[in-house]
A = this chain, B = another copy of it.
């Protein structure tokens, strides 16, 4: 398994492009992306659990009912959510895209991200579609990645190459992260593409299983978005024997998928709104998976700890506090906590109580950009990891006046 470039176009038979169509005011930023496979794909998706759902999710869900799709159209700058005519707009986006590509509207994944509750006009999208389609190319993954960004500061692309049945296979993906992100099913926009031959059922199984340990283990701000979805399209062009059951090939596929999704998770967490640091909470010694996950997510979600990490302050009491209110059944007197980064590792709490440690060394460790918070529950051998970011002045700034 090796990391490669190309993002959403790394897999054979995929082309993509992104343009500025006019939904976002800033003309230097793409706001419309298109990803297309040469041939129809097995398709699978997971969606936000928020009761308030963006209209595009409802339309996409209907389109993916048959397990097949061929293209993704996505705009940023407007979520098309809580709009009276939202469904109609999302359907029109699908129809216009399908017409431009000469395929069925049922094979379109439609997505929107941005402000909630503002009317979305389909006009700029309709006007831009011919150029968008004309520009589709095998190197267009980056332009597409740019087009789905909102307050993201960097485009998020990952791809890997691996072998199945002697054939070279690829999985790649792009993500939109930044804010309104909380672990509860799919929690952001992620489009994954693959050239592996795999049935829609097994593709859904792979995706649904994978997100439990990846996209469901990220939190930026505790707000589960209305528009989140993770979609994967797999067109079979690699020519491997089709994966139709839970066999060795499926395990290899799962591993490759996980490499891409963990890569995207780390990018999303590290580029959380206003973030200066990627936080990774690794919980070990848990008696079961639920406990490990609950503790890891509670730590990563604590506003107080996030603010302390911004200040490079080894305030481990906030880690213990977050574990204590997580709802997990843990023995506090068995918990050890360490902080770790490229500068080293330091134990700050042993058996639930503070230990003498050098504040100077702790500060040096916490001034790094990637921080691991290591929690050993001392009660078993199950582990889990969650990803998040620090809480900064810029989070407040970005969200204090996002709409204007």
Contact = CB atoms under 8 A, between A and B. Distances in A.
Interface of A: 49-53, 79, 81-84, 115-119, 179-180, 182, 184, 221-226, 301-304, 307-308, 310-311, 313, 315-318, 320-325, 330, 332, 349, 352-354, 391-393, 395-404
A400 B310 contact: yes
Given A308-B400, A313-B404, A325 B223 contact: yes
A38 to B, nearest CB: 37
B400 A304 contact: no
B311 A401 contact: yes
Given A83-B354, A310-B400, A354-B83, A180 B304 contact: yes
Contacts of A49: 325
A295 B270 CA distance: 30
14 contacts: A52-B323, A79-B317, A82-B317, A115-B315, A117-B354, A179-B304, A182-B325, A222-B301, A304-B399, A307-B399, A311-B401, A313-B400, A315-B402, A315-B403
A199 B388 CA distance: 49
**What number of copies of this chain does the assembly contain?**
2
Contact of A324 (B50, B222, B304): B50
Contacts of A52: 320-321, 323-325, 332, 352
Given A51-B330, A82-B349, A349-B82, A226 B324 contact: yes
For the residues of A in contact with B, the DSSP-based class is: loop
A339 B115 CA distance: 18
B332 A51 contact: yes
A364 B337 CA distance: 47
| 3 interchain residue pairs of minimum CB distance | A116-B317, A311-B400, A52-B324
Contacts of A320: 52, 82, 116-117, 226
Nearest to A180: B304
Given A179-B304, A353-B83, A396 B392 contact: yes
Contact of A325 (B79, B82, B224, B321): B224
Given A50-B321, A354-B118, A401-B313, A304 B82 contact: no
Given A223-B322, A303-B221, A317 B117 contact: yes
Contacts of A115: 315, 317
Contacts of A313: 400-404
Contacts of A182: 325
A304 B310 CA distance: 18
B323 A51 contact: yes
A349 B82 CA distance: 9
Contacts of A323: 51-52
Most buried by B among A115, A353, A404: A353
A53 B332 CA distance: 9
A328 to B, nearest CB: 8
A221 B306 CA distance: 11
Contacts of A223: 302-304, 318, 321-322, 325
Given A83-B353, A84-B353, A318-B116, A311 B399 contact: yes
